[in-house]
Amino acid sequence: MQSFTAHHPPVVVDETTRQFFAHSSGQRINTDAVIAQALTKQYPSLSLVIAAGFNLLGFASAGHATLTAIDSAGPGLPSSVIWKGYLPPARRIDGSTGTLIQQVEFAKVLYKWDGAEFIVYVASGRDGAEAYPLVRNCYILTSDPPKADALILAAGRWANQLHDEIWVFDGGYWSKSAELFQSVKRVSWDAVILDEGMKKALINDHLSFFDSRATYDHLQVPWKRGIIYYGPPGNGKTISIKAMTHTLHDRADPVPALYVRSFSSFNGPEYSIRQIFTKARELAPCYLIFEDLDSIVSDDVRSYFLNEVDGLKGNDGIFMIGSTNHLDRLDPGISKRPSRFDRKYLFSDPDVEQRIAYCHFWQRKLADNKDIEFPDRLCTDIADITDGFSFAYMQEAFVAALLAIANGGGAEDAALAASELGEDGWVGVDSGDSSEDGDEELILWVEIQKQVAILREGMDNEGRQ
Top CATH class, 173-346: alpha beta
Say how far apart CA 177 and CA 354 lie, in whole Å. Answer: 33
Q: Sort 243 into a burial class: Cβ within 10 Å, 0-12 / 13-18 / 19+.
A: buried
Delimit the CATH 3.40.50.300 region(s) of the chain. Answer: 173-346
- Positions of the chain with pLDDT lower than 50, given as ranges: 129-132, 410-436, 464-465
For residue 12, the Cα-to-chain-centroid distance in whole angstroms is: 50
Compute the distance between CA of residue 416 and CA of residue 394 in angstroms, rounded to an integer: 24
User: d(Cα 176, Cα 70) in Å, to the nearest integer?
Assistant: 31
DSSP string covering 51-93: E-SSHHHHHIIIIISEEEE-----TT--S-EEEEEEE--S-GG
Query: What residues contact residue 324 under an 8 Å CB cut-off, 6+ apart?
Result: 228, 229, 230, 292, 293, 294, 330
Task: Give the closest residue to 1 by CA, choosing from 193, 143, 122, 160.
Answer: 143
Assess contact for 128 and 29: CB atoms under 8 A: no
CA 249 to chain centre: 13
Residue 244: which of 162, 163, 319, 346 has the closest Cα? 319
244 backbone dihedrals φ, ψ, rounded to 5°? -70, -40
Q: What is the pLDDT of residue 52?
A: 78
8 Å CB contact between 170 and 69: no
Nearest Cα neighbor of 38 from 162, 147, 139, 169 is: 139
Torsion (CA) 308, 313, 317, 319 in degrees, nearest 10: 10
Tell me the sheet residues that pair with 81: 106
**CA-based end-to-end distance of the chain:** 80
pTM of the model: 0.77
pLDDT digits (tens, 9 = 90+) for 153-190: 999 999 888 899 999 998 788 999 999 999 999 999 99
Q: In angstroms, rounded to a whole number, what is the distance separating the alpha carbons of residues 230 and 306? A: 20
Residue 143 Cα distances to 11, 43, 83, 391, angstroms: 21, 10, 31, 64
Enumerate residues 6+ apart whose C-beta is below 8 A from 403. Answer: none
**Helix (H/G/I), strand (E/B), else coil: 155:** helix
pLDDT given for residue 4 in this prediction = 60
